[in-house]
Amino acid sequence: MFKDDLFAGRRVLVTGGGTGLGLAMAERLAGLGAELHLCGRRLPVLDEAAGMLRGRHGAKVATHAVDIRDAAAVDAMMETIWSEHGPLDCLVNNAAGNFISRTEDLSPNGFHAISDIVFRGTFYATQAAGKRWIRDGHPGSVLSIVVTWVWTGSPFVVPSAMSKAGVDAMTKSLAVQWGRHGIRCNAIAPGVIPTEGAGSRLRPQDSQQDQLSAQNPTGRLGQPQDIGNLAAFLLAPDNTWINGQTIALDGGDHLANGAYFTQYLDWGDAEWQAARERIAARNAADRAGRTVNAPASSAAGAD
């Protein structure tokens, strides 16, 4: 689909790039010659991903243990990249947090846990890259991962839906504001592309994958290469006039079926309790592997 060296000499930061969709995009770009920077909260996970990218693609890869909820840490990471490697060419805002919950059951901390990552953290990363691009007169490209619920809304993931809608608004706004600096901002709104991190927090009772495949107009769910290919297209160096767009990548699913998670409207207390316990176990395992956390002043629920 692309020239093998399409991204040769290009430097790309993927937030949350150690796993899931972030790693899928990083791998596609590494295969096309990009230098990759991966950031996340679990350094061993990032380093394992980096090793894989080096082994399979001979890519140059650096890792950064950073929680994007920490604005100062995000800025320090950008400074390290700029001073030790050189300016970024592309930023992929992929890092996210999410879990299903009845909105009436959410604590303020629960709301912050998601919105501080998705809404604020995405802004911190975008601003830290953008201000350096503008200062240096260096063109740049921002690609943010949202979800089709920026159009449909979605029950039971309201903090995520609100935050992703904010990222969609940022994409359109900065496309206009920063276009004159040679900075493009676009977004991908994927449908269901199964990953362990999202599946364990959004469909914690059973996989439902057969039903989701059957109801998709294309008869299948997304695959990592679907998002890798679209990311490569949108970030491609010669692709300089697509700006301010959020592109659905879901096989037409949201047009056919609308919002996700309406099946949970039937759940009662027992199902929600079971889901909460399984999500809590998954979150605890994740936390145990983290090598950085947001500082108390910006951690979930601190204000």
Site membership for ligand HXC, residue 300 (CB under 6 A)? yes
Exposed, middle or buried by CB within 10 Å (0-12, 13-18, 19+), for 266? Answer: exposed
Rounded to an integer, what distance in angstroms lies between the CA atom of residue 169 and that of residue 48? 34
Written as six digits, the tokens of 128 are 């830290």
* Interface with ligand HXC (CB under 6 A), residue from 15, 98, 126, 141: 98
Span interacting with ligand HXC, options 6-14, 106-114, 165-173, 208-216, rule CB under 6 A: 106-114
Selected from 49, 74, 78, 113, the binder of ligand HXC by CB under 6 A is 113
Which of 147, 212, 227, 234 is the binder for ligand HXC (CB under 6 A)? 147
Q: Which of 103, 109, 225, 291 binds ligand HXC (CB under 6 A)?
A: 109
Q: Which of helix, strand or coil describes residue 119?
A: helix
Q: How far apart are the first and last CA of the chain?
A: 48
Name the nearest CA neighbour of 11 among 84, 86, 122: 86
Q: Which is nearer to ligand HXC, 103 or 240 (CB)?
A: 103
Q: How far apart are CA 204 and CA 200, in angstroms?
A: 5
H or E segment at 257? helix 253-257
Contact pick of 114, 189, 234, 249 for ligand HXC (by CB under 6 A): 114
- Rounded CA separation 10/29 (Å): 9
Return the residue of 93, 126, 160, 171 that touches ligand HXC, per CB under 6 A.
160
Residues that bind ligand HXC in the complex, under the rule CB under 6 A: 96-99, 101, 105-107, 109-110, 113-114, 147, 160, 192, 197-198, 201, 276, 279-280, 283, 286-287, 300-301
